[in-house]
Structure 1
């Protein structure tokens, strides 16, 4: 499985014994790699290195939900500072993808966390542009840029105004129906892309099964927002993924948009998680979803990172 090209050796790591080798290039996910291997979210044969002698010059790795047989996301791709680093990245990606991505399937999306001000930092910008150049030479394109947000304990939470009431979700069908409504006019790039291939009802059901049902946190945290008479206005899904408490999904149905309800719904989701004495709450939204980004900002969520998502055709 190893490939040797001139002075470059490209291969998967042999196991946990080579984690220190793999972690020689810095990235925030390095601290999670061991636990991911233990939980089955990563596998050594999905974690590839490019070596010049004993020196790590590039690396790439895929992630999956625990127990999945195929990778869900390419989320680690780093290059050392060699003059030919972009070429090395292309060669490593090409070799690794040929072994990791099942033949005849679309490669998983590539997601990368970057500093919130990466365009204004010369070092960060060069690193982003180098990685982008490498993945684009393998056929990928930038799909969307997202804000990664965090609420921290002690940040004030908007008090209930009395305009809305909140109750638990009554079942799958109720929530999926509301999710389908929310998809009308959505500003989320992934949801818009889903609806180029399927109707809103199918996209909502797929997201419910593939994402929401994957959270082990209590379904009792999920909330429907209603008018005092009981008419649903929207919903919020507080949850805990494999790493952090999160606002997994929030939406307002089209008939009730423009009334400032999203801030009140977000506050309810924040209250549910804050009551669990969590150390932080994470969330994310597309940079193009300005109304949602502003709602998070008003609620005291800090933009601590951005995420760049690249896709292959």
Structure 2
């Protein structure tokens, strides 16, 4: 493929969504709602075209209207093309779009990609995933973590309360921040560990709370702290709704109480709260390497529905 035959440009408006959707991906069905809500903008959605053939595309996403791009969550290639040509088209598209959309010298937003479970063992999925990763590696990105995507469905057996803990709502921001700060000590979560290389635990906890938790549209009365018989906090669980699904947004056991299986009690409580709302599903995610948390979800009846690849760039924004 001659690079000079490829034109890179943003979509001109919602009338070009059918063209942008020509490459398949799980998020295609969400594009209309995201555009209507302001979580996406046409100028953040770019295409590489050879004539009327879509050979690559990408899009950034923001959690709320009016905010800067927070994730690169769509990067797709025409997998019928030879790998090197496909990768080259993707690199050119990323570099052109980034120069137009992102501030110079600023760290690009993290890349998230939904991929099939055990994708490395899938003869079709593996080259597709690796080609997308190769595009971003050429621009300076590196793999941060792979995560399991999990789902609980109504009708799944649910453990009865064990009686080991009692539960009460979170008293307020400061109480939850104190517990979140404790939970970051020894965390197995890759994002948490990365945060701790850049900032103190107190700031990392506050950033997570202010950037994400406080914005959930669901009631904060759902948030629970698990209490020991002695009246001490053991951990917490944040059942919530985001803009797409009911979720277990955050769960953690304080370091002094780890190793006693309390994660099962906390997860069961969060699941009960959401199930009591008559939800059609509950979504959750955890790092592939966070084996204790992954096992807790599986014990609670959650099934692995996929994985997620998270890639990041260096702090200086080099690409």
How far does the alpha carbon of each residue in 1:66-94 deviate from its partner, in whole angstroms, 9 at most, with x for none?
A: 22331000000000022210111111111
- Tell me which residue corresponds to 1:123: 124
Bigger Cα displacement from structure 2, 65-74 vs 141-150: 65-74
The DSSP-based 3-state class of the residue aligned with 1:116 is coil
- Tell me which residue corresponds to 1:173: 174
How far does the alpha carbon of each residue in 1:31-59 deviate from its partner, in whole angstroms, 9 at most, with x for none?
A: 00010000000000000000000111100
Mapped to 2, the partners of 1:255 and 1:133 lie a distance apart of 42
Task: Quote how far apart the aligned CAs of 1:5 are.
Answer: 5.0
- Tell me which residue corresponds to 1:159: 160
Q: 2:18 aligns with which of 20, 41, 55?
A: 20
CA contact (8 A) 2:3 2:89 kept: no
Q: Which runs of 4+ in 1 moved over 3 A?
A: none
Residues 1:182 and 2:180 are matched in the alignment: no
The DSSP-based 3-state class of the residue aligned with 1:162 is coil
Structure 1: any 5+ residue segments left out of the alignment?
none
Residues 1:242 and 2:240 are matched in the alignment: no
The DSSP-based 3-state class of the residue aligned with 1:158 is coil
The DSSP-based 3-state class of the residue aligned with 1:196 is helix
- Tell me which residue corresponds to 2:50: 52
How far does the alpha carbon of each residue in 1:85-138 deviate from its partner, in whole angstroms, 9 at most, with x for none?
A: 011111111111111111221000000000002111111001001101111001
Bigger Cα displacement from structure 2, 44-53 vs 93-102: 93-102
Q: TM-score, normalised by structure 1?
A: 0.98
Mapped to 1, the partners of 2:50 and 2:203 lie a distance apart of 48
RMSD: 1.0
Task: Quote how far apart the aligned CAs of 1:65 are.
Answer: 1.3
Mapped to 1, the partners of 2:102 and 2:311 lie a distance apart of 16
Task: Quote how far apart the aligned CAs of 1:229 are.
Answer: 2.7
Mapped to 1, the partners of 2:3 and 2:262 lie a distance apart of 58
Q: TM-score, normalised by structure 2?
A: 0.96
Mapped to 2, the partners of 1:202 and 1:120 lie a distance apart of 40
